[in-house]
Amino acid sequence: MKSIVCHESYLFKMINGEKPKCHPGEALVQIKRIGICGTDLHAYRGNQPYFSYPRILGHELSGIVEKVNGDNSEIKVGDHVSVLPYLECGECPACRSGKTNCCSTLSVLGVHQDGGMREYISVPADHLIETNKLTLDDAAMIEPLSIGAHAVRRAHLRKGEKVLVIGAGPIGLAVMSFAKLEGATVIAMDVNKERLTFCKENIGIDDVIVANEESITTLRKMFNGELPETVFDATGNVHSMNSAFQYPEQGGKLVFVGLVNDQITFSDPEFHRKELTLLSSRNATKEDFYFVKQSLENGYINISKFITHRCKFENMPSTFNDWLNPDSNVIKALVEI
Ligand SMILES: NC(=O)c1ccc[n+]([C@@H]2O[C@H](COP(=O)([O-])OP(=O)(O)OC[C@H]3O[C@@H](n4cnc5c(N)ncnc54)[C@H](O)[C@@H]3O)[C@@H](O)[C@H]2O)c1
Ligand SMILES: [Zn+2]
Ligand SMILES: [Zn+2]
């Protein structure tokens, strides 16, 4: 079995080894698609916090079940599946309250333990979601889409609510897609005009704003003098996150989906004057995965243009560098096995 190991920063190695053992309660999956995301880029560049090498990357996965060890009513051999890559303890306070996405000892495939950049992986069978009605491409997109779906679920949007999404990368696009599905009026903000054009053409959002000093004035004009009730920041940029507190309306909400290895600071008088609600959003749950799967099956969201780049597994080590180049205009890159 072949695996691509991130041996150290800026170095991938293709290695040959045994197929993983399929322990009781696990299922062996033949990996077919691996989505690449910012986490993988940071790990490759050596600036992903709490990351150790060597590591097999890959947490946006779809494949075909080859073996199931034990009883599992949800999946069977031959099923196409999406992998829920967050392995929770099941016992800590967060897990007991159903918030497995923020388990205190969470281990994420491809981050804290080896992921799916390989021909086979064995995972707990209850971390597989059957996706027979979807393409393998779409099944691999369930993970990043679920991040957006989870953030939108946390925000409890109302129909017709005014929403601003800052950051039009894959995560922001997912947030916009699910906010539109909830019936919100959605405006996207980014510093990158190409990305704004992309989300206007492909997600049917209501308008776009280039992020600059005038943004708040432009935003008010778009909303008849008012500000959005809910603001999502999906930039991972500390300056954007610090200034995002100015955008929600009185009594509004700010949701940090993007994350940053830094301190966030804000003016307490502004925060209190508005009685803002500040939320973070981390990963997703199985419930979010099912919701995204159903939304894709029913054609409620359109992600047909999200995958802009792809390559074969064998060519991944030589192609990855190209995807780091901002001029490549990658939205989502996919590796095929
Ligand atoms: N909540 C979670 O569990 C979770 C999961 C995966 C990724 N993330 C985080 O989500 C964030 C976004 O991920 P992505 O893959 O979409 O990243 P990305 O880099 O592709 O997209 C970020 C976008 O933000 C824009 N941006 C940067 N600075 C800006 C600014 N000052 N004002 C306006 N726009 C700005 C960029 O132009 C870009 O289009 C990252 O921080 C990532 O780590 C969170
Ligand atoms: Zn990811
Ligand atoms: Zn736990």
Q: What is the pLDDT along the chain (337 residues), one digit of tens a residue?
A: 999 999 999 999 999 999 999 999 999 999 999 999 998 999 999 887 778 999 999 999 999 999 999 987 789 999 999 999 999 999 999 999 999 999 999 999 999 999 999 999 999 999 999 999 999 999 999 999 999 999 999 999 999 999 999 999 999 999 999 999 999 999 999 999 999 999 999 999 999 999 999 999 999 999 999 999 999 999 999 999 999 999 999 999 999 999 998 999 999 999 999 999 999 999 999 999 999 999 999 999 989 899 999 999 999 999 999 998 888 889 999 999 9
Pocket test for ligand 1, best of 99, 101, 190 (most atoms within 8 A of CB): 190
Rounded distance, CA 308 to CA 300, Å?
Answer: 21
- How far is ligand 3, taken at its centre, from the CA of residue 98, in Å? 9
The rounded radius of gyration (Å) of the Cα atoms in the chain is 20
Q: Nearest residue CA, atom 17 of ligand 1?
A: 169
Pocket test for ligand 1, best of 47, 102, 145, 171 (most atoms within 8 A of CB): 171
Tokens describing residue 91: 């016992």
Q: In which element (H, E) is residue 61 found?
A: strand 60-68
- How far is ligand 3, taken at its centre, from the CA of residue 88, in Å? 5
> In this structure, which topology does domain 2-132+306-336 adopt according to CATH?
Quinone Oxidoreductase; Chain A, domain 1 (3.90.180)
Where along the chain do the CATH 3.90.180.10 domains lie?
Answer: 2-132+306-336
- Show Cβ contacts of residue 55 under 8 Å, excluding neighbours closer than 6 positions: 5, 6, 43, 110, 111, 114, 115
- How far is ligand 1, taken at its centre, from the CA of residue 26, in Å? 33
Where along the chain do the CATH 3.40.50.720 domains lie?
Answer: 150-280
pTM: 0.97
Ligand number nearest CA of 105 is 3
283 lines ligand 1 (CB under 6 A): yes
Query: Alpha-carbon dihedral of residues 264, 266, 271, 273, nearest 10 degrees?
Result: 180
User: Homologous superfamily of 150-280 in CATH?
Assistant: NAD(P)-binding Rossmann-like Domain (3.40.50.720)
Closest CA to 205 of 224, 177, 234, 228: 177
Closest CA to 273 of 211, 227, 239: 227
